[in-house]
Structures are given as C-alpha cells and as structure tokens.
Amino acid sequence: MAKSGLVGQVEVRVVSIGALAAHPLWEERAPVRAGHATTTLIRAGKRNILVDPGLPGAVIAARLGERSGLKAEEITDVFLTSFKPETCRGVSAFERAAWWVSAPEREGVGVPLVRRLQEAAEAGDEELKSALEVDVAVLHRCQPAPDRLAPGVDLFPMPGVTPGLTGLLVAKARSTVLVCGDAVATVEHLERGMVLPGCFDVGQAQESFREAVEIADELVLGRDNWVVNPMAGRADRAGGVGGLMIGDDED
C-alpha cells in the first residue's frame, strides 16, 4: 500500500507506485509490462510539487485526485528526476505548472536528443521524427531547476543512471526522506546493493547509490514504494554501506 507522511511542515505522499518494464532481479530479460516511474507529491507551503508523472496524463491526474484530493491545475511544479518517457509521460496534464529538471540532465540529454532528431529527419523517418519532436518540446519547456525547489525541498544530484539524474531531499530535524528516482530503483535493488543495467556511467551510479543510503532515513524508490532505509545509521565508507557492496545487476 502506498504510504504518506509529514516531514516537518512538508507533506510527502506517493501518488502512484512505479514499475520496471522488465525487472532484471526477477529474471525478466524482456519487457513484460509498461514501465513507469513512481510519482510522488510534495506539498510545501503553497507549493504542490509532483515528481515524475510517469503514467499517461488522464491516469496520473485521476490518481492525484484519489491520493490527495488535488486537481491537476492545482499542481504548481512538476519535477523530473531524469528525462525519459517513464518519468514524464503524463507531464502534459499539468500545463499550469512550472516544469523542472536538473541543469546537468537537461544538457546531457538535450544534445543527443537533438542529434537523433536531425538523423531521423535526414533519414526521412517521419514517425520517429514526430516522436522526437514531442520529446524536444517537453525538454525545452523544462527549466533548469534551482538548488532548492521549496523550503525544506532540496535537489540531491545522483548522476550515473542518466547524465544528470537528481533526487529531492526533504529534511526535518531528526530524519530525512529522499525521492530517489532510478538511482535506487526497487526494494530488490536496495537490498542487494544493485544499480540498474544500461547506466550512462556505472561508477557514478554506484556512488550515487552509496550516497543515497548513507544520507537518508527513508527512501521513495524510483520504481517501487516508500521504504525505511535498512542501511540508515550503518554506513561503512571503507567497503560498501553497512557491509553491503554496491554493484550493477548485469551479472
């Protein structure tokens, strides 16, 4: 069951639990479901921040109403932890909101995206060209996010899975909650100390994983629910975290 909680004066609520199209730690090697990111709502004062609207717009707007009572037009900000279809599929349902992504992600994804669009145009692939034009338009609409989105809601860079993947760190006096995105994908990845296959930079992804489990008391996983961090308070910087060695799941 999706979980919610108060973090200081900030409310954090899971709107929709995500899923991997193929879960490699379930021995799935090809897509068996539609992949989509976990969507999280952060309410901080007058700001209603929706993180990673990965389901289609009408679906995520309905889930938002079911989980919070808010309407799509009441969302003030949409934040993407990374820029991929699984995180931004429903973003167009929130036209009144400001759309944010980290500057490194925007730059790291933008150049190859424009290059692919040019190649599709040169090849005469109209279907691919149209799809990429939509992606370029969404990315263009996304602004580089400031270091702090709202009081108590700070960007937490977690590069590796993508060039500029960035989580959100919500803090209170005695505990922290980290919205991880795909840097920590599922409970199985957390328990086994694994990052996703196909990372932009595996070494960076492993380091981001380490930092996540070292800093946060609770984690909102990129394709799973909100969990208490089993490694909290057990960091061992000499070799893994709390005795857990961090690797990738391609082995």
Q: What tens-digit pLDDT sequence spans the chain (251 residues)?
A: 555 555 557 899 999 999 999 999 999 999 999 999 999 999 998 999 999 999 999 999 999 999 999 999 999 999 999 999 999 999 999 999 999 999 999 999 999 999 999 999 999 999 999 999 999 999 999 999 999 999 999 999 999 999 999 999 997 657 799 999 999 999 999 999 999 999 999 999 999 999 999 999 999 999 999 999 998 765 444 344 544 556 676 54
In eight-state DSSP terms, residue 144 is E
Backbone φ and ψ for 82, nearest 5 degrees, come out as -150, 165
For the chain, give the longest Cα–Cα distance.
57
Q: Which residues pair with 169 in a beta bridge?
A: 154, 178
Chain centroid, CA 204 distance in Å = 16
Q: Residue 184, CB half-sphere, CA atoms under 13 Å: how many? A: 34
**Domains within the chain, CATH numbers bracketed:** 4-248 (3.60.15.10)
Predicted TM-score (pTM) of the model is 0.90
Please tell me the distance from the alpha carbon of residue 223 to that of residue 84, in angstroms, as a whole number: 13
* Residue 213 to residue 230: CA distance in whole angstroms: 8
